[in-house]
Structure 1
Amino acid sequence: MTNLGVHSEVGKLREVLVHRPGFSLRRLTPENCRDLLFEDILWVERAQEEHDAFVDVLHRHGVTVHALGKMLSETMEIPEARRWLLDRRIHPSIVGLDFIDDLRSWLDERTANELANCLVGGLARADLGFASSGLTCRTSRSEDFVLLPLPNQLFTRDSSSWIYGNVSINSMYSPARQPEADNVEAVYRFHPRFRNVNFSYLSSGRAEGNYSLEGGDVMPIGGGAVLIGMGERTTPQAVEALAQKLFKDGNITSVIATLMPRDRRFMHLDTIFTFCDRDLVTVFPPVVERMRTFTLRPGKLRGKVDVIEETEPFLTVVAKALGFKALRAVATGGDSDDAVREQWTDANNVIAIEPGVVIAYNRNVLTNKQLKRAGVEVITIEDGELSRGRGGGHCMTCPLVRDPI
């Protein structure tokens, strides 16, 4: 069995975790979509077709693709795993004291596949085949959610991050996304693909106070360096805590932390910056050129972290961490208006499947043309619906095994 570990952003991609659009997206309505962090409702059948085509590209390039829904269903066949996850997902603060025993019993009677669907697709009051006399149940409407749907589970990059030979179960910023990490952690702890493989957990748990971190901000770029963005979803407190744990590994020598605007348009680092080749990146210059950058290294005192604010530009700092004098940078294509539009539709959120080969959305014509001129092989996929979810190929993949560069 292949060892787990992600050792770069562009080395050959061997194994990846994705989640096919499904029932959770059907739960989106014009009234609730913004609460669930979507700009609009999606045409689910078309989104599924587009995602299937994306997965087919990965398959054709030799990538082993694991479907999270299938893995979660297989995990829920294991009694220990079922108890572990339901203990975390079903508790009084979510469903109320009066409701918890009845709901837990009802869920325990579901098949593994039915339970997995509930844990991602959510549960409305109307979905339940029983009534409770307690206050929580009696005051809820039939359309109220007992368990929130998790439409953002589509973006598997965020809830966990494989950083060299370790995994971080991430503390998600929004309560609407926090249960995604519980689902993924259950798979990692109990599914046969992971259960008997040696790896370390860097962090596990929900966001508390100012502590939150999401995988779209985390990039193990190679050479013992980790790049982390700090913006809307990832806080400096979380970066310091993660760096402290990473340095205990001994193989990780630096964390490059870069400060971005706290703006939904640039919610993660990978919405404005991704690697396409060993020394080539695509960037959205209006943000990338203004970012402050800090390098964290193991402190002289055990368990401490030294922080240095860099005076050189972000791209220069990243280049030097990888042993290059400079990085080749391909800017988001077109004039200023074109670039803003293409950044919004994930032109900079490409996924490298090997050095110099990326998957991109076909609508971002100008940026894709620029990448091709720079020598990158750009494989395009249809994205009429997927791009409306505010995430591209980088967001929709959680690499589990990737080669060094």
Structure 2
Amino acid sequence: MEKSIQVSSEVGTLRRLLIHSPDSGLGKVVPSKAQDWLFEDIIHLDTMRRKEYDFYVKTLLYFLDSEKIKGKLAEIDADHERNFFKPDSSDYFNSDKVIELQKLLAEILENDLTKMKLVAAACAIEKEWYTTHDELFNLPSVELAKTLISGTTPSGEMLFPPIPNFIFTRDIGITINDHILLNRPKKQARTREALLVQYIFYNHPIFAEVRQNLIEIPDNETLFLLPEEQVQDAQSTLEGGDVMMVAKNHLLIGISERTTIYAAKQVIKILFEKKIVEKITLVKIPNKRDYMHIDTVFTQVKRNMWVLLGSLAKPQIKAEDEALIKAGLLKSQKAEEVQIVQFRREQEHEPREIESLEELLTEISVYDLNCQPLDVKFIYSGNNEFPYGAREQWTDSCNLLAVKEGVVIGYDRNDKTLEAFKNAGFEAVKMEDLLQDFETGKKNPETITDTFIMLPSAELSRARGGSHCMSMPILRSEF
């Protein structure tokens, strides 16, 4: 019998994933609080939901659960009042393969004990009074789920801050073979988000078979004793965008603006003790908002193909500059480089440094995924042309979701990156057009190959996260 929770690669055919459609909380982000809530801009909610994200969900359904969508596109598109994508609607698509977190939350809240504990925990985090606890506990589970996510009660009162980053379900955790690693967000804005997810994983029946395989990262128990200048690196914070399951035996962990070396070391210890993987590679990227997580710098397209930011692909220091740095005449650029260290579970293997991202990704393709060295290919953000590489990386040119090997979803706005994909033999197709081709039978999700599916992104790209961020795969087919 096929497992319901199993991910051993980034590009095996996607079978089940967790998503969260844009909720009303995103429409309540105000300029004065946007950065505190980890948003860079103010989005137009209806455009994001109806003209962008809904295409994303329809496409995922066609690839993962076509019976929920095939033959219904015209009906859905014609009726703008039909809430096909809202789990509290009678029209909801209700797939057990494209799974909405809000639906799972509402279902666990049907249990009064779970409901009581979660409401109490949320009120404690948000510093609310007992009367608020009482008010929330008396809400129906569907309404309570919406309130806990959006922060707004059914009467329209904005009780809590929104958690607009909930659409980025990649960050809530990562599936590592048949285990799930839960995140520890760095920013306070994501604390309630992590709490809701923790309750879902520990209480919903679909995770019953892996409940003993849930992994939580321990806190640094001595953190409160450290001087302020040492606290930053000693925190135990990790987000799923910094974790990639690239092969059954190999996990990547990014050290970034959001994930600390302390948390990474805890994960290495736990996974090696449990014998879940053989290799763990730490990839330290510059601590800058430009990058945030490693999946904003590179993602996988095929076993032998990767998309990445060229400026971080190889060491950038020239030989003459290296001599000047050693002599103390030039400031080291080390902070702007990628540093890579690989650990193996077998004690006889010493940790080894890897020179560059390109070397690491080539090794994964060759040694973990059985590709020939000469077949490994790289596609660069902005086609590696100045200034498009950096511009398009900022709008998530490197943040792609593979629905199957060689078929990826990415934003439509990154023209130079799309040009690079076309030069590599890919077809670039608008998501709306592809859906029509699926509906008419002109194309088939089962047989489509080497395709870049262009997701409309005028509003989604303002949120600083792409299709890879907006997904948490929990089941992929193995090669």
- Specify if TM > 0.5: yes
**2:400 aligned partner, one-letter code:** V
Aligned to 2:451: 377
Aligned to 2:27: 26
C-alpha distance in 1 between matches for 2:54 and 2:212: 30
SS of residue paired to 1:118 = helix
Aligned to 1:12: 13
- Of the three residues 357, 364, 367, the one matched with 2:417 is 367
Aligned to 2:112: 79
Aligned to 1:187: 200
Aligned to 1:331: 380
SS of residue paired to 1:3 = coil
Cα displacement string for residues 350-395 of structure 1 (whole angstroms, at most 9, x for unaligned residues): 1001111101111112212212322331111111111110011000
CA drift of 1:70 comes to 1.6
C-alpha distance in 1 between matches for 2:248 and 2:182: 23
Q: Give the TM-score normalised by structure 1.
A: 0.88
- Between Structure 1 and Structure 2, whose CA radius of gyration is higher? 2
Aligned to 1:235: 260
The answer to whether the 8 Å contact 1:276/1:355 transfers is: yes
Q: Pairwise mapping of residues 5-404 of structure 1 onto structure 2 (< 5 A)?
A: 5-49=6-50, 50-62=52-64, 64-91=97-124, 94-95=126-127, 99-123=128-152, 146-197=159-210, 200-203=213-216, 209-289=234-314, 290-298=337-345, 300=347, 308-322=351-365, 323=367, 324=371, 325=373, 327-334=376-383, 335-375=385-425, 376-404=450-478
CA drift of 1:127 comes to 5.5
SS of residue paired to 1:267 = coil
C-alpha distance in 1 between matches for 2:211 and 2:145: 26
Sequence identity, in percent? 30
CA drift of 1:309 comes to 3.9
Cα displacement string for residues 305-333 of structure 1 (whole angstroms, at most 9, x for unaligned residues): x7624143232233324414363111112
**More moved, 263-272 vs 288-297:** 288-297
The answer to whether the 8 Å contact 1:285/1:331 transfers is: yes
SS of residue paired to 1:158 = helix
Aligned to 1:136: none
**More moved, 228-237 vs 325-334:** 325-334
CA drift of 1:103 comes to 1.5
The answer to whether the 8 Å contact 2:25/2:150 transfers is: yes
C-alpha distance in 2 between matches for 1:294 and 1:204: 21
CA drift of 1:229 comes to 1.1
SS of residue paired to 1:266 = coil
C-alpha distance in 2 between matches for 1:196 and 1:227: 25
Alpha-carbon distance change, 77 to 150 in structure 1, aligned in 2, over 3 angstroms: same
Alpha-carbon distance change, 205 to 119 in structure 1, aligned in 2, over 3 angstroms: farther
Q: Give the TM-score normalised by structure 2.
A: 0.75
CA drift of 1:113 comes to 1.3
SS of residue paired to 2:169 = coil
The answer to whether the 8 Å contact 2:177/2:248 transfers is: no
Aligned to 2:428: none
Count of residue pairs brought into register by the alignment: 380
C-alpha distance in 1 between matches for 2:346 and 2:463: 41
**1:332 aligned partner, one-letter code:** S
Cα displacement string for residues 51-87 of structure 1 (whole angstroms, at most 9, x for unaligned residues): 1100111111125200111221122112232133224
CA drift of 1:404 comes to 2.7
Cα displacement string for residues 69-109 of structure 1 (whole angstroms, at most 9, x for unaligned residues): 12211221122321332243221x631xxx53211111111
C-alpha distance in 2 between matches for 1:179 and 1:287: 33
Alpha-carbon distance change, 211 to 288 in structure 1, aligned in 2, over 3 angstroms: farther
C-alpha distance in 2 between matches for 1:147 and 1:205: 27
CA drift of 1:2 comes to 4.0
**More moved, 370-379 vs 52-61:** 370-379
Q: Which runs of 5+ in 2 are unaligned?
A: 66-96, 224-233, 315-336, 426-449
C-alpha distance in 2 between matches for 1:176 and 1:379: 32
C-alpha distance in 2 between matches for 1:185 and 1:70: 15
CA drift of 1:33 comes to 1.1
C-alpha distance in 2 between matches for 1:251 and 1:191: 23
CA drift of 1:23 comes to 1.1
The structure richer in helix per residue is 2
CA drift of 1:231 comes to 1.0
Cα displacement string for residues 139-185 of structure 1 (whole angstroms, at most 9, x for unaligned residues): xxxxxx65221000010000111111111110001010122111112
Aligned to 1:142: none
The structure richer in strand per residue is 1
CA drift of 1:197 comes to 4.8
C-alpha distance in 2 between matches for 1:199 and 1:56: 33
Superposition RMSD on alpha carbons, in Å? 2.2
Alpha-carbon distance change, 121 to 88 in structure 1, aligned in 2, over 3 angstroms: same
SS of residue paired to 1:51 = helix
**1:72 aligned partner, one-letter code:** L
**More moved, 33-42 vs 390-399:** 33-42
C-alpha distance in 2 between matches for 1:373 and 1:19: 34
CA drift of 1:200 comes to 0.4
The answer to whether the 8 Å contact 1:172/1:206 transfers is: no
Q: Which runs of 5+ in 1 are unaligned?
A: 129-144
